[in-house]
Amino acid sequence: MKKYILLLTVIFLNSFIIAQNEEEEKQGIEIFLIDAYCKPDTPHPFILSFYTDVPAKSKVILEKKYEFIVSKDFSEMHTIQIDITKLFFLDKQVQFIIQVEDTLGNKVTSETFDFDLPYEPVITGGSSLFTLCLFGGFVFLLPTPNYVIQNGNSHFSLTKEIPFLSFRSKSFRYPASYFAFEFTYIFNATDKKFFRTSYKRIFEIPVLEYISPGIGGYTNFSGNNGIAPEFTIGLFRVFDTFTIYSRYRYNFQPSGNKSHFHEINLGLYSGFFSIYL
């Protein structure tokens, strides 16, 4: 009888220890911020240091778009210096978050921290922040030219794409992919107005900026609805904020009720106003 009681006691204690370990594993990783400031010395390095209560890999994300690896290997102490002179900020106060991952694969995102720039944010060439916002807003809303071929006829059109949801990549230059809204107006065509929603996948390449296959849907809300596969080449950047691209798109209806048409577009990409995940 004593053997059974002893066996049950051992099983109970073992189960209690396992449950306690699992509960500890589920607990979040503690992040303790030590330093987060930008030196006034040129080239204005951002100094960040923090430690975690368990060994972890870590990265920092500035303003939801600039991502940097802090610790590639598992460590409790994390430090990094980042040259931010080529990064674009709208405000003098820069917000950032820290993301860590422990040896068990548990991931934790910190609260939002911030630091102050030792200078007023300006665009290359010395324009003021107000001028930058006006210029950026104007360029962002500006429609771009589009060449349409339909039923053997050529048409000029204007189109405007607005990315609204972007997914982060390891690079801070472009997202891994994004969703966008788009409006197209075709001159001298039977169906002139088209509204679109599309998904694009971005692959950064040398020499040029990127290539981007995509798929979307379109409608004129009058029965002309279809699917539009596309392929985009990012050509070059302007002010390190906008990217000039060229795009080919084929529009068709699976039902075949309306004629299909082709588009060749020279456009302007910016994910600045997009929500990043």
**How many other C-beta atoms can be found within 10 angstroms of the C-beta atom of residue 62?**
21
For the chain, what are the domain ranges?
29-116, 142-276
Tens-place pLDDT, residues 78-135: 999 998 878 888 777 889 999 999 999 898 999 889 888 877 665 444 445 555 566 5
Domains 29-116 and 142-276 share a fold: no
The pLDDT assigned to 179 comes to: 95
Which residues are within 8 A (CB) of 36 and not within 5 positions of it... i.e. 6 or more apart?
46, 47, 48, 49, 50, 96, 113, 114, 115
Specify the pLDDT at position 175.
Answer: 87
Q: CB–CB of 43/83 below 8 Å?
A: yes
Q: Please give the helix or strand (H or E) that residue 2 lies within, else none.
A: helix 2-26
Q: Which CATH number fits domain 29-116: 1.10.530.10, 2.60.40.10, 3.40.50.300, 3.40.50.920?
A: 2.60.40.10
CATH number of 142-276: 2.40.160.20
Torsion sign across C-alpha atoms 83, 88, 93, 98: negative
Residue 12: predicted pLDDT:
47
At 116 the pLDDT is: 84
Calpha distance 90→137 (Å, rounded)? 13
Return the pLDDT at 90: 78
**With a cut of 50, which residues of the chain have pLDDT below it?**
2, 4-5, 8, 10, 12-13, 16, 19-20, 22-26, 123-127
The SS3 assignment for 108 reads strand
pLDDT of residue 83: 86
Antiparallel, parallel or unpaired: β 45-62 and 210-219:
unpaired
What is the predicted pLDDT for the residue at 100? 94
